[in-house]
């Protein structure tokens, strides 16, 4: 089964979509360039796993050194034109507070994690 937005069944929306198709500009596919973005976060660690009966499923995760990376790409019909990645874990997204660093270090040491 393919699900579609229920709004597509409304007559007013169907009329607007038909009108748009009548005035939409058709471009040559060879001239189109698509920008795509995806993100990777090492904090998205699996919380469940499978193991043989009676055995524990073991895994490892980075202790407190999470990374966020955004990957951008420009794609044409023929090839990938450009790509770049941005390491967001190194970006300061909020004001720097020295007290919060001390609190974070104390929390890491309390949990037994290595110092950053």
C-alpha to C-alpha distance for 101 and 94, rounded to whole angstroms: 13
Is 27 inside a domain boundary?
no
Is 72 inside a domain boundary?
yes
> For the chain, how many residues are written?
116
* Domain ranges, residue 71: 32-41+64-93
Is 98 inside a domain boundary?
no
- The dihedrals phi and psi of 58, each to the nearest 5 degrees, come to -105, 150
Task: Spell out the alpha helix ranges (H) of 1-116.
Answer: 11-23, 98-111
pLDDT average, residue stretch 23-52: 85
Q: What is the pLDDT of residues 49-67, one digit of tens each?
A: 899 999 999 887 767 667 7
State the total domains in the chain.
1
Is 84 inside a domain boundary?
yes
pLDDT range class, residue 114, cuts 50, 70, 90: very low
pTM: 0.45
Using alpha carbons, list the distances in angstroms from residue 49 to 27, 88, 105: 48, 28, 30
Reading the block at residue 98, the tokens are 């020295």
Q: What is the pLDDT of residues 68-103, one digit of tens each?
A: 888 899 998 888 888 898 887 665 554 444 445 566
């Amino acid at each position: 089964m393919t699900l579609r937005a229920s709004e597509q069944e409304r007559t007013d929306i169907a009329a607007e979509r038909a009108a748009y198709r009548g005035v939409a500009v058709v471009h040559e596919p060879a001239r189109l360039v698509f920008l795509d973005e995806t993100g990777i976060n090492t904090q998205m660690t699996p919380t469940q796993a499978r193991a043989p009966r009676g055995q524990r499923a073991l895994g490892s995760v980075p202790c407190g050194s999470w990374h966020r990376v955004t990957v951008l790409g420009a794609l044409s019909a023929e090839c990938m034109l450009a790509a770049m990645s941005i390491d967001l874990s190194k970006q300061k997204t909020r004001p720097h507070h020295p007290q919060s660093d001390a609190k974070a270090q104390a929390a890491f040491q309390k949990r037994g994690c290595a110092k950053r």
